[in-house]
A and B are shown apart, each in its own frame.
Chain A
Amino acid sequence: MSPEAEARTSLTNLIRKLRFEHGEMTQQALAERVGVTRQTIIALEAGKYAPSLLLAFRLARAFGVGIEGVFQYHDGEPEGRGEPGPHAGR
């Protein structure tokens, strides 16, 4: 399975939701805050890119939550993109 496909099926995130909860932060603003391009934020929100651990930590810190507050790993059937997984909030 390609990294892209793997990211789509096993990793979901709440970046879009968290952006809006943080004063409707724009993708560009978040990108500048964590040191990536806006395209990478777009790919992350679309579930098409699995970030490095370092970037995951930066994103979590930007929102003031833990990594599992941003990313959810699923080892079973994929759920909706960007939707909270079974481990969300734990």
Chain B
Amino acid sequence: MNASQRFAWFTLGVVGLTVILVLLLIPMLGRGAFGALGFLGLLGFTPLFFLQRGDEVVQDERDIQIRLSSLTIAYSVFWVLFVLGAMTAPAVYGWSGSVPVPLVLGAVWCGLIVVQGVMALAILIQYRRGGSDVA
């Protein structure tokens, strides 16, 4: 497993745990459960996976290519969901209605979760399809 794969598994773990934690806390804390989204801050440690150690090649052109294409996939998925959300808003709140502020903030967090989660999944899938762990 290389640095990009470790990065992807870590990201997927943090995103997955955060979502599960928020869903578990909602019945107890209500809106306060969204405070658990702060666990996403752990993603700030991900650059550590790419720290240079001695002469070892931590990442190369293929790893960067896979990460960039995964990021493109992730933002494409996010954009589709964002457009779908925007298109359904009038149906939910009416043409002259207004979207609640907590929903806007929630959408930002959801966007972060979608982008990070899909990117991590896309990285893992591309490495699997590319036979990176063969032999």
Contacts of B131 in A (CB 8 A): 42-43, 46, 48
How far, in angstroms, from A52 to B127 measured CA to CA in the complex? 18
| B residues with CB within 8 A of A | 2, 55, 57, 59-63, 127, 129-135
Q: Report whether A37 and B134 are in contact in the complex, using a CB–CB cutoff of 8 Å.
A: no
**With the chains together, A13 CA to B2 CA distance in Å?**
24
When the two chains form their complex, are residues B55 and A37 in contact, meaning their CB atoms are under 8 A apart? no
Query: For the complex, what is the distance from the CA of A35 to the CA of B60, rounded to whole Å?
Result: 7
Q: List 29 A-B contacts (CB under 8 A).
A: A32-B57, A35-B57, A35-B60, A36-B57, A36-B60, A36-B61, A37-B57, A37-B59, A37-B60, A37-B62, A37-B63, A39-B62, A40-B60, A40-B63, A42-B131, A42-B132, A42-B134, A42-B135, A43-B130, A43-B131, A43-B132, A46-B134, A48-B129, A48-B130, A48-B131, A49-B130, A54-B61, A55-B60, A55-B61
Do A51 and B61 touch across chains, with their CB atoms under 8 A apart?
A: yes
Q: From DSSP, what is the main secondary structure of chain A's interface residues?
A: helix
- Minimum CB–CB distance from A12 to chain B (whole Å) comes to 16
Further contacts, 19 of them, CB under 8 A, given A37-B63, A43-B132: A37-B57, A37-B60, A39-B2, A39-B62, A40-B60, A40-B63, A42-B134, A42-B135, A43-B62, A43-B130, A43-B131, A46-B131, A46-B134, A48-B130, A49-B62, A51-B61, A51-B62, A52-B61, A55-B61
Contact partners of B55 in chain A: CB under 8 A: 32
How many A-B residue contacts, CB cutoff 8 Å?
48
- A55: B residues at CB distance < 8 A: 60-61
Chain B binding surface SS class: loop
Question: Across chains A and B, which 4 residue pairs bring their CB atoms closest together, nearest first?
Answer: A36-B60, A39-B132, A40-B62, A48-B130
Nearest-neighbor residue (CB-CB) of B59 within chain A: A37
A52, closest chain B residue (CB): B61
Q: Please give the distance in Å from B64's CB to the nearest CB on chain A.
A: 10
Q: How far is the CB of B28 from chain A (nearest CB, A)?
A: 44
Nearest CB of chain B from residue A59's CB, rounded to whole Å: 12
Cα distance A31–B63 when bound, in Å?
A: 14
